[in-house]
Amino acid sequence: MRRHLDRQLARFLRKERGGLSYADFAKKTGLSHQTLFRLEHGEHHLTLDKLETVLVKLKIRLKDIFTDEF
């Protein structure tokens, strides 16, 4: 299940970043550009605290990211 959630988060971040550089998107999310790159490539996992930061900064809800049912 964790891998499934990681993939959903990665897809969401890639889509949300669009054509922005990692550095520019990092400013919007409150994460470092290295963390964003690693998240998109499945090399890093977010803590709930960091996930909450992303939700607040992007003004989105958890269900906007994790739309699939289990």
Is 60 exceeded by the pLDDT of residue 8? yes
CB atoms within 10 A of CB 58: 17
Is 80 exceeded by the pLDDT of residue 41? yes
The pLDDT value given to residue 69: 62
The pLDDT value given to residue 70: 53
Mean pLDDT of 27-53: 94
Asked if 8 and 63 touch (Cβ cutoff 8 Å), the reply is: no
Q: Dump pLDDT digits (tens) for 54-65.
A: 999 999 999 999
Is 60 exceeded by the pLDDT of residue 13? yes
